């Protein structure tokens, strides 16, 4: 038995998605740029997927550009705007809790002479609108704030940020990789100019993403070559990926309201159950302003990787912000940014629920987790010190 | 990253977890900031390590190396215990992933810290043993609680 609670890492593609993709891997392999029948059919399928994506975020189909994934979209948004607007200014505003696809791209741009302001977040992982206003300069060309955080699920005040950016005439990009298909997005209402998304976070395939580019926004290409994607993103279209992404977003949009309610109820049951049964634990992120499927809890006195190994023994897949799981000595930059001391960041557990998860599975976690935490605390010198000091 | 079967065995069924109330020497190394703390207790009688126990805050490899290191020194003389190096611990565990090698170093340091504590308490000099730099109980760098 496997219980998959790592849907923020990636999701299992839905059967409807795979069924829709299969003919484009087997029979309809034509290059959409060609003129014969099997190629023309592919062109139609790509157009249909583009429509689905546009509808999902209230954009126009000709504002959707397919990429190889969320990281490419983030790179394109930042480097493309930096490149096309550098005569206007060289200042970019982002946040301290972005995905590395944004943070490391910003570091790269800093090495090219751009200046980047990293907005701090509060204890819940949410930026302050005043901080944003204060950070804006005459030479600010881009604001990039993630829609929802991949680790702690906090959802940013995107609409307010969008209206400030619009008022100041600054391009506004949002990394919505964790948000698309999970929370409502409206690029018109929210004044979003650029939006990154990825197929495999909403039960679609890996290796496909998109960048929404509002009509009129100036952005240089990242990938040069052929004339695909209206001359803005070269490379033969990943037709099966695009078709799968389109189907996944169609399903997710249709079910969003109902599914987000179902997941939020499971999420809250999981959070309440864990916090009430395990002492010295705390919720990371905002209790309400968070993704419907995101649970992130720190357990004092223990380390995350040990927890993951013991959960794995029970067939439960989860993740952690501990250094040991990041391959470095530092724990998650997101958990440090919300003010967690290192030792509590090391002891974090992320459980991300999705389409295939059930209440029975939540009950299994609630049963299996407390003895795992107790077992690790029993062998922890930090817990020993804590008990002795509190006797 | 893949752990060997031996590492998983020593993580899932750690040997010698616990404390020794009247320990001859206790050493604590590492820090919570980097995510690993090991505390080793030794019971030494007539120059022989009669018992060894540990408590560890850390990843799978940290628990497994603590378990193996304490297992290896039990019944040994002090000079023999000094031969239980990080390399010996790693070999006994059929290897560690490269980013986990530091866990085996920490296990060696924890043993040395406990032996140093024993030597200090008894006013003796253990040949070949240097004062452990990493013994946090000596410097009271235990992370503050809030």
In a domain, B140, yes or no: no
Answer yes or no: is B133 within a domain. Answer: no
Q: How far is CA A249 from the centre of its chain?
A: 15
How many domains does chain B fold into? Answer: 1
Express as a percent the part of chain B with pLDDT over 90.
75
| pLDDT 10s digits, A160-169 | 999 999 999 9
What is the SS3 assignment for B57?
strand
Residue B80: which domain range?
Answer: 5-123
For chain A, what's the residue count?
391
The rounded percent of chain A whose pLDDT value lies above 90 is 93
Give me chain A's average pLDDT, please: 96
Contact check, Cβ <8 Å, B17/A378: yes
Report the Cα A239 to chain-centroid distance in Å: 23
How close, in Å, is residue A154 to chain B by CA atoms?
24
Cβ of A382 within 8 Å of Cβ of B99? The answer is no
Cβ pair A386:B62 closer than 8 A: no
Token pair of A291, please? 């993704």
CATH number of the domain to which B53 belongs:
3.90.1010.10
Please report residues of B whose CB lies closer than 8 A to that of A348.
Answer: none
Reduce the DSSP state of residue A255 to 3 states and report it: helix
- Higher local confidence (pLDDT), B73 or B131: B73
Residues of chain B with Cβ-Cβ distance to A329 below 8 Å are 34-35
A385 Cα to chain B: minimum distance (Å): 9
Of the candidate CATH numbers 1.10.490.10, 1.10.260.40, 3.40.640.10, 3.30.360.10, the domain formed by A15-252 belongs to: 3.40.640.10
Strand partners, A281: A299
Enumerate the residues of chain A whose CB falls inside 8 A of the CB of residue B96. Answer: none
Using a CB-CB cut-off of 8 Å, the residues of chain B touching A343 are 32-33, 35, 57, 143
C-alpha angle A188-A193-A199 in degrees, rounded to nearest 5: 90
A274: alpha, beta or left? (left if phi > 0; alpha if psi -120 to 50): alpha
Residue B134: predicted pLDDT: 66
CB A253 within 8 A of CB A207: no
Residues 117-136 of B with CB under 8 A from A: none
**pTM (predicted TM-score):** 0.93
- Is the Cα dihedral A298, A300, A302, A307 positive or negative? negative
Q: For the ranges A114-128, A184-198, A312-326, which has the lowest average pLDDT?
A: A312-326
A106 in catalytic set: no
Q: What is the pLDDT of residue B1?
A: 73
Beta-carbon contacts below 8 Å between A and B = 81
A355 Cβ contact list (under 8 Å, min separation 6):
A7, A11, A14, A203, A259
In a domain, B100, yes or no: yes
In a domain, residue B81? The reply is yes
- Distance between terminal CA atoms of chain A? 42
Q: What is the mean pLDDT of residues A197-226?
A: 98
Residue A323 to residue B34, Cβ atoms within 8 A: yes
| Average pLDDT for A132-159 | 98
Q: Is A182 helix (H, G, I), strand (E, B) or coil?
A: coil
Retrieve residue A240's tokens.
Answer: 């099966």
Question: Distance between CA A202 and CA A152 in Å, rounded?
Answer: 18
B35/A331 Cβ within 8 A: yes
- The answer to whether the CB of A319 falls within 8 A of the CB of A107 is no
Does the beta carbon of B13 lie under 8 angstroms from any beta carbon of chain A? no
Domain locations in chain A as residue ranges: 3-8+256-389, 15-252
CATH code reported for the domain at A3-8+256-389: 3.90.1150.10
């Amino acid at each position: 038995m496997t219980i998959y609670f790592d849907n923020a890492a990636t999701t299992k593609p839905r059967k409807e998605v795979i069924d829709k993709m299969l003919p484009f891997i087997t029979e309809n392999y034509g290059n959409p740029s060609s003129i014969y029948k099997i190629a023309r059919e592919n062109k139609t399928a790509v157009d249909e997927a583009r429509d689905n994506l546009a509808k999902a975020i209230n954009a126009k189909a000709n504002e959707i550009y397919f990429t190889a994934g969320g990281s490419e979209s983030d790179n394109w948004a930042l480097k493309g705007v930096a490149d096309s607007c550098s005569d206007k200014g060289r200042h970019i505003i982002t946040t301290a809790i972005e995905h590395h696809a944004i943070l490391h791209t910003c570091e790269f741009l800093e090495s090219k002479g751009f200046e980047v302001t990293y907005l701090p977040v509060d204890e819940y992982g949410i930026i302050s609108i005043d901080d944003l206003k204060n950070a804006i300069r005459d030479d600010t060309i881009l604001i990039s704030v993630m829609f929802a955080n991949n680790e702690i699920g906090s959802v940013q005040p995107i609409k307010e940020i969008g209206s400030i950016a619009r008022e100041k005439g600054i391009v506004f990009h949002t990394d919505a990789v964790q948000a698309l298909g999970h929370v409502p997005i409206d690029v018109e209402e929210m004044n979003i100019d650029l939006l990154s998304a990825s197929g495999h976070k909403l039960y679609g395939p890996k290796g496909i993403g998109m960048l929404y580019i509002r009509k009129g926004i100036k952005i240089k290409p990242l990938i040069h070559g052929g004339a695909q994607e209206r001359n803005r993103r070269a490379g033969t279209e990943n037709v099966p990926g695009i078709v799968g992404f389109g189907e996944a977003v169609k399903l997710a949009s249709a079910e969003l309201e109902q599914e987000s309610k179902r997941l939020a109820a499971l999420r809250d049951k999981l959070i309440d159950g864990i916090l009430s049964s395990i002492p010295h634990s705390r919720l990371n992120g905002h209790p309400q302003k968070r993704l419907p499927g995101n649970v992130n809890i720190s357990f004092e006195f223990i380390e995350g990787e040990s927890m993951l190994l013991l959960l794995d023994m029970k067939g439960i897949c989860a993740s952690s912000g501990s250094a040991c799981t990041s391959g470095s000595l530092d724990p998650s930059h997101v958990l440090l940014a919300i003010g967690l001391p290192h030792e509590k960041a090391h002891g974090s557990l992320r459980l991300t629920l999705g389409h295939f998860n059930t209440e029975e599975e939540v009950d299994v976690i609630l049963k299996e987790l407390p003895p795992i935490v107790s077992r690790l605390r029993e062998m922890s010198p930090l817990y020993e010190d804590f008990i002795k000091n509190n006797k | 990253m893949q752990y060997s079967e031996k590492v998983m065995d020593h993580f899932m069924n750690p040997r010698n977890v616990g404390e020794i109330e009247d320990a001859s020497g206790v050493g604590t190394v590492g820090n919570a900031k980097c995510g690993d703390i090991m505390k080793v207790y030794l019971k030494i009688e007539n120059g022989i390590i009669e018992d060894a126990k540990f408590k560890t805050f850390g990843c799978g490899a940290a628990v497994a190396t603590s378990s193996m290191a304490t297992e290896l020194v039990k019944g040994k003389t002090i000079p023999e215990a000094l031969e239980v190096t990080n390399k010996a611990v790693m070999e006994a565990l059929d290897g560690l992933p490269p980013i986990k090698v530091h866990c085996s170093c920490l296990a060696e340091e924890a043993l040395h810290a406990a032996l140093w504590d024993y030597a200090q308490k008894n006013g003796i000099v253990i040949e070949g043993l240097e004062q452990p730099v990493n013994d946090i109980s000596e410097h009271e760098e235990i992370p503050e609680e809030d």
